[in-house]
Structure 1
Amino acid sequence: MAATPRTRPEIRLEPMTAADLPELAAGNLEAFPTFYAPLEPESRRPPHDVRVRRFAHRLSSVLSSPHVFATKAVLASSGALVAIALWHRPGAPVRNTKRRGLLGGAPEGESAADREAWEHVDLEAHERVWREWDETRERIMGDVPHWYLVPIWVKPAYQGLGIGKALMQQVIDLCDAQSPPTPIFLEADKRGMDMYRKLGFVEVGSSEYVEMVRYNKEGTRPVQH
């Protein structure tokens, strides 16, 4: 017997708030376990609830950054969060807001809670991975203003229902309202590449998380003069 096709529940797209930080942190760790594992070595890793609490604290500076545009998809029936998308706005510095300090050290003015939030993190590995991603993006995009996706995820029970596409479309519509359209840059988990291609993204790199850019809805690169 064929499975009954699932239909997408009614959702709303809303700005993320500080109250969403624990769910944002837990969702990031669940969606990208192999990415975060070497940055938070198992030998130093605290219990999961402590790990989530510390990550939520670190993400508070991301969510409050004027360079970040953060949206959640919630069920219209209950308000439950089912997906998120975080973006760097055009004109933001090419420096990931998850980085702790420019050279990997503790910024001046950190509180005890700030320092505790980084206690189990391998700071050298953490800084290295974000620095390498920043340098690659700067090499590809240069000084062209662009949106940067950092990251998007949908809870497993709600995947395959078009919710991720709805979150992407929110920013794509903003980009396409400009003439020429504003580019969008992202590093794609290979599981999401087909969706990105259908939305007009083209591959511009070959890293483990493949660099992709959407220049326009046709999926073509602008002509260089």
Structure 2
Amino acid sequence: MCDRGRVAAVDVRPVHKPDVRQLAAVLARAFYDDPVMKWMLPEDARRRRGLVPMFATMTRHHFLAGGGSEVAARAGRIGAAALWDAPGRWRHTRLEQLLMMPTFLRAFGRRGTRGQQIEALMKEHHPEEPHWYLAVIGSDPSVRGGGLGHALMRSRLDRVDAEHAPAYLESSNPDNVPYYLRFGFEVTGEIRLPDGGPSLTAMWRQPR
């Protein structure tokens, strides 16, 4: 417990296997109202059920092995997570795809084709220059504005800067673009989804 009037410090640390379930639940709540997720899974109940296993299988079968992802916690409770790929590691291997596929099929059902369309478009527009890739970042709505997301961004970008490396992300929510601009990212393009879907904003951060 913290003293009255004091706010517990934010603890940023690498993601470990026991974190996966809680991390996935946090990201599911963070992305529940995300425009791209609503396009993929427009039914509220299906989206609520599908996002947790989706984030869990992505973390378990891809991001854990890369060692680039982190969680932010306050008083021992995870409130935000960032899933990063180190340079040269953003593509899923064939084995990772096979391991994740059953969960994706259960989560998306007949909407799975939309997920495949997004993946193909993101690959098409992804930069080839080696870079750190911020695939996912999100804070639980109950702690949003409490500095956890900022701590996560600053933690990884400090390492990116130490390596004098660039960074890349796609923002799935236009409301978040100004937030990334404050960290030095610049808008480099727009990835339009088919069938009247929303757009992803491609953003690049130069080495510094």
How would you bin the TM-score normalised by the shorter chain? 0.7 to 0.9
Q: Give the counterpart of 1:86 among 83, 86, 99.
A: 83
Matched, 1:39 2:36: no
Unaligned runs of 5+ residues in structure 2 are: 192-198
- Deviation at residue 52 of structure 1 after TM alignment: 5.6
Residue of structure 2 equivalent to 1:135: 124
Deviation at 1:12, TM superposition (A): 0.8
Q: Note the aligned Cα RMSD (angstroms).
A: 3.1
Greater fraction helix: 2
Aligned length: 190
Taking the aligned partners of 1:209 and 1:147, their CA distance within structure 2 comes to 18
Question: In 2, Cα distance between the equivalents of 1:158 and 1:52?
Answer: 19
Say if 2:170 and 2:203, in contact at 8 Å, map to a contact too: yes
Output the CA distance in 2 between the equivalents of 1:13 and 1:21: 15
Matched, 1:194 2:178: yes
Q: Indicate the residue corresponding to 2:196 in structure 1.
A: none
TM-score (norm 2): 0.76
Within 5 Å, which residues of 2 pair with 1:139-218?
Answer: 141-142=127-128, 144-178=129-163, 181-188=164-171, 189-207=173-191, 208-217=199-208
* Cα distance, 1:25 vs structure 2: 2.4
Higher normalized contact order (CA 8 Å, seq sep 6+, divided by chain length): 2
In the TM superposition, 1:87-126 aligns within 5 A as 87-92=84-89, 94-95=90-91, 101=97, 107=98, 115=102, 118-121=105-108, 122-126=111-115
Does the Cα contact within 8 Å between 2:68 and 2:83 map onto a contact in 1? yes
2:29 aligned with 1:30, yes or no? yes
User: Counterpart in 2 of 1:21?
Assistant: 20
C-alpha contact (below 8 Å) 2:86/2:132 kept by paired residues: yes
TM-score of the two chains, using structure 1 as the length reference:
0.71
Max Rg structure: 1
Q: Give per-residue Cα distances to partners, 1:56-97, cap 9 Å, x unaligned.
A: 55232123333x51100011xx310011111011121x5357
**Cα deviation, residue 135, structure 1:** 1.1
